[in-house]
Amino acid sequence: MSFVPGIGIVKGMALTLRRFFEPKVTVQYPEQVPEIPPRHRGRLQLLYDEYGALKCETCFQCAMACPIECIDMGGTDTKDRFHVHWGAAEQYAERREEQALRRSGRPVPDPNFAAFDRADTTRLDALLEQEEHDPRRLLPILEGTQEIYGYIPVAAVKHISTATGIWYAEVYGTASFYGQLRLELPAAHRLGICRCPSCSLFGGGAVRAAFEDELGVPLGGTTPDGSVALATDDCHGENAGTPWVTLDGRPQRDMTAAGAVRLAQSLAGHAPAGRA
């Protein structure tokens, strides 16, 4: 077979050389975004109307139409809002399956810990009703819960999450963030000690050591019977020659190491209210 270079090759090469200088057709994503036609079906998302409300009514038409049955849905009616989870059935089922619950942020009921989960929820339900199950009023809900129980038990956190649809992690995170919300039952008495340099100069260190030895807990801890909690107070700047020590918020004047031992011994054995 013979091969003679001829005009065809030259014309072809002239074409490519011309195209070398022509503007290029590349769309430089993400700086330039190609126009997506309005009918494009490539991105699956639920639509909102102009007032911001979700248009989905969970009418199941899309689930019926899907040939490979990859859509499932469920709704939680918490005061006129539906939560629609659509997607593969095994991921987004509202069937209280563990995986589904975990993925949707809800607590998973575990029979091993059922004994610890009990809390009387009648007053809590009333509180939730009063606050209209509104996720935006989580902080008042939590403060009300603390008033009911004295602290926020885990069972109450779970109940709030289930009733309002707020993710368990969010409720727990809010409760653990604020200082005034307690997740544990408080101790009967609170001993507060200041640790600023001027208090330490006036013997604060000895007082603190005496308290720690006598009560048997480090600073920040609670005695096992729940009678005394040893905590750090903020500096008040008015120690006037003695270290700053408070008992349940009342300042104790002229505290010394010996006085600390006596005070601790007097407080020991007082069981706090509410502990079994």
Q: In the complex, which residues of this chain contact another protein (CB under 8 A)?
A: 1-9, 11-13, 15-17, 19-20, 22, 24-26, 28, 37-42, 64-65, 67-68
Joined tokens for residue 7: 């005009």
For the CA atoms of 117, 122, 128, 131, the dihedral, rounded to the nearest 10 degrees, stands at -150
CA 235 to chain CA centroid, Å, is 31
Q: Kindly tell me which of 38 and 220 has the beta carbon lying closer to another protein.
A: 38
For residue 31, the minimal CB distance to another protein (Å) is 11
Sequence-distant (≥ 6) Cβ neighbours of residue 193 within 8 angstroms:
204, 207, 208, 211, 219, 230, 231, 232, 233, 243, 244, 245
**Cβ distance to another protein smaller for residue 67 or 218:** 67
Distance CA 204, CA 210 (A): 10
Question: C-beta of 22: minimal distance to another protein in Å?
Answer: 6
The C-alpha atoms of residue 203 and residue 226 are separated, in whole angstroms, by 27
Of 236, 123, 138, nearest in space to 181 by CA: 138
Q: Output 34 or 197, the one with its CB closest to another protein.
A: 34
- Measured from the CB of residue 42, what is the shortest distance to another protein in angstroms? 7
CB of 58 to another protein, least distance (A): 18
